[in-house]
Amino acid sequence: MSRFGIIHYNAPGKNLEEFADYAQKVGYKYVELAIADIWDERRETEAQASKRAVEVRSLLEKRNLQVSVLSAANDFVMQESGVVQTEIKRMKTVCHLARLLGTDVIRTEGGQPKKHIPKELWADAISSCLKKLKGFVEDEGYYLAVDNHGLVTNDIDLQLRILEEVNSPNIGANFDTMNYRWFGYELSQLHQVYARIAPHVLHTHLKDGIGTRGSYQGCALGRGEIDLVFAVKCLKDVGYEGVWCVEYEGSDPVGGYEESFRWLESHITK
């Protein structure tokens, strides 16, 4: 059976238990969780977060669900030494919590633009942070999937430059099929973009929609303008064997995630 996943974002359920019940009912076998699902960093200790991670894993396993990836909500567009060291230490804690959840894959952000850090230094800042984690993740067997997200790493040239500079089999990409389009790439450019990122992919966000930035509208898989069939082919051609994780950003999460699951059944299992 193919490895179909659902992100705990814009998904049905008032809490984690209800979300897990929904995922199981639809037929998903994997879930992507956010670090906030298990750790309130302002109020809880790492020990409390570890306890919560074990509890969440048990909750999911009772529903025949596994965690595919834990999103870190990090920011690597940093230069100040003290801030960078704090972020590196935090990421190591996130990795530890991910393993308690049952996964070794962590979805990392590139980071957010900063007025005091020129755009031409973003890639170097992110690469520097990842290099500081390189030895740790390789020695411990973790994998960092740098997401094409926001206003920084949706730039495919910048994203690939970072991965090439870091040069680690344990540091690759999370491939969001809609985000490059949201960022501003023309539809005619996406096939080339997908082919370029595919060899580096550790995890996916299969996402569909229409438009860019302010005009963007989220859709169920197969209902938008994204050539998902080509995206899937690119990944299969390079031997991708990871989870096919759905992210839906429309106004009907129940229907959107259910329809997207049916699309997966029709197109991934063939």
The Cα–Cα gap between 152 and 26 comes to 34
Q: Is 150 left (phi over 0), alpha (psi -120 to 50) or beta?
A: left
Which residues are within 8 A (CB) of 135 and not within 5 positions of it... i.e. 6 or more apart? none
Instruction: Give me the residues paired with residue 6 across strands.
Output: 31, 246
CATH number, span 4-267: 3.20.20.150
CA neighbor of 178 nearest in space, from 260, 255, 120, 237: 260
Cβ distance 65 to 30 under 8 Å?
yes
The Cα–Cα gap between 246 and 73 comes to 19
Cβ distance 90 to 96 under 8 Å?
no
Domain ranges for the chain, please list them: 4-267
The Cα–Cα gap between 148 and 156 comes to 8
The tens-digit pLDDT sequence of the chain (270 residues) is: 579 999 999 999 999 999 999 999 999 999 999 999 999 999 999 999 999 999 999 999 999 999 999 999 999 999 999 999 999 999 999 999 999 999 999 999 999 999 999 999 999 999 999 999 999 999 999 999 999 999 999 999 999 999 999 999 999 999 999 999 999 999 999 999 999 999 999 999 999 999 999 999 999 999 999 999 999 999 999 999 999 999 999 999 999 999 999 999 999 975
pLDDT for 269:
76
